[in-house]
Amino acid sequence: MKLTRRQFTLATLMAAGTAGLPVYVKAQGKKTIAVLFDGLYSPFWVAGLDVIKQDLTKRGYEMVQAISDKDDNRQFEQVRAMLARKVDGIIIVQTDSNAVIPAIKAANDARVPMVHFNRPPAKTDAFSVAVVADNRSITNATVEHMVKVAKEKGGKYKAAILIGNLGDPNAIGRRDGFFDVVDKNKDIIDVVARIPTEWNADVAFAGLTNAFQANPDINFLFTSSDFLFPQIVQVLKTRNKFQPIGHKDHIIFGGFDGDAMAYELLKDKYLDADGVQDLFKEAELAVNAIVDLQEGKTVERVLLDPGFAIHQANLEQARDRMWGYSIYKQKNG
């Protein structure tokens, strides 16, 4: 039988209509939560996604996930796709705090609750809930311990800080937390390098290498995220500066996140202090918020994870609250 183009077109349109019918008769099954991350480029996000998934599964939810690869437009499209899929809630990690606002408005219009995991949006009239670590306070505590160590050792210090993407309020909080403390201790600490990383390991590696070329005597180093540790260690090793606490060339070294490598570096006495975000608590707060919003309960716009600083003096007592230690234990028994 010969099929004309018109017949083919009509047939396909009719088939499309018929196949679309299930939309209207979709069975009501499990509730679905969309988890939209902007990337899985650090252990924190990988572990975060895993913990949220386990928590949702435990509570009987189905989870669908999507990664936007740091593309704000793609993430906006993902939010709309999930709203069209009629999900019951969205947990999101956005790249840019301003660019996420249209997505929040779209969720508000569809009456689907949205919770920001670990990264708050910019100020907006649109409603969403953000679970955030108290980045500034945690960094204050971490850097205060580093300064205490510096004072105990004596002498003057040249400091460098690796700064995250300034579109991320977390990066701003950590930067400000660092300067709150070092600015009060200008008599012993001179910040000679502010290294922008854009949360990119390659950029961080190049920036730190250049900083050491310009200031070979940097001896106080803080990174705004632990995921940059492999690059930092590499740079320090090539300059023979990766030395344990007690060695004359040891650089006073601090980080932020609380990942497994941070625990290993603390245990092996290469790292002086680390700011820890309570990943388990943040995941629980995010899922609780979604559930409460679905049930029509009132939830605060910002849910704070106070976090803590872990260092050589409290390592044994505090490590059980460190998510990186849990991962380390799983890997090493």
Partner 1 sequence: MTATSLETEARSSGMRRFVRRVLFSEYLVLWLSVLYFLAVLPFVPQMASVEVLRNILSDMLPLLVVAIGQTFVLIVAGIDLSVTSIIAMASVVGASVMTGDGGYLAGSPLAVPAAMLAMVTVGLAIGAFNGFCITRLGMPPFIVTLTTMMFFSGAAIWFTTFHTTTSSIANLPHGFVVLGQGNIGGVPNSLWVVLAVGILAHIVLARTVLGRRLYACGQNRRAAAVSGVPVRKVIAAAFLISGACAAVASILYTGRLQTGTPILGQTILLDIIGAVVIGGTSLFGGKGKVVWTVFGVLFLVLIDTSLKMLGLSLFSVFAIKGAVILLAAVIDAVRTRFAARI
Q: Using CB under 8 A as the criterion, which residues of the chain lie in contact with partner 1 when the complex forms?
A: 8, 12, 15-17, 19-23, 26, 34, 64-74, 76-78, 80-86, 95-99, 101-102, 122, 165-168, 172, 198
Instruction: Count the helix, strand and coil residues of the chain and give each as a percent rounded to the nearest 5.
Output: 50, 20, 30
Select 54 or 98, whichever has its Cβ closest to partner 1.
98
- The helix or strand, by DSSP H or E, that contains position 91, with its residue range, turns out to be strand 89-92
Phi first, then psi: what are they for 84, rounded to 5°?
A: -65, -30
In angstroms, give the least distance from the CB of 99 to partner 1.
4
**Closest CB to partner 1 among residues 65, 209:** 65
- Interior angle at CA 100, CA 258 and CA 165, nearest 5: 45
What are residue 172's DSSP bridge partners? none
CB of 78 to partner 1, least distance (A): 6
The bridge status of strand 129-133 relative to strand 302-305 is parallel
Q: What angle do CA 4, 10, 13 make, to 5 degrees?
A: 140
Asked if 265 and 230 touch (Cβ cutoff 8 Å), the reply is no
Smaller CB separation from partner 1, 83 or 260:
83
Give the C-alpha separation, 86 to 64, whole Å.
Answer: 12
* Nearest-approach distance from CB 25 to partner 1, in angstroms: 9
Residue 72 CB, nearest distance to partner 1 (Å)? 6
Residue number, 100 or 287, with CB nearest to partner 1 = 100
Compute the distance between CA of residue 194 and CA of residue 204 in angstroms, rounded to an integer. Answer: 11
Q: How far is the CB of 311 from partner 1 (least distance, A)?
A: 30
Q: How many Å apart are CA 235 and CA 205, to the nearest integer?
A: 7
The residue (of 87 and 146) whose beta carbon lies closer to partner 1 is: 87
Question: CA-to-CA distance for 92 and 309, rounded, in angstroms?
Answer: 26
Whichever of 200 and 312 has its CB closer to partner 1, that residue is 200
Instruction: Tell me how far, at minimum, the Cβ of 153 lies from partner 1, in Å.
Output: 34
CB nearer to partner 1: pick between 149 and 193: 193
The rounded distance, in Å, linking the Cα atoms of 295 and 58 is 18
* Shortest reach from residue 189's CB to partner 1, in Å: 23
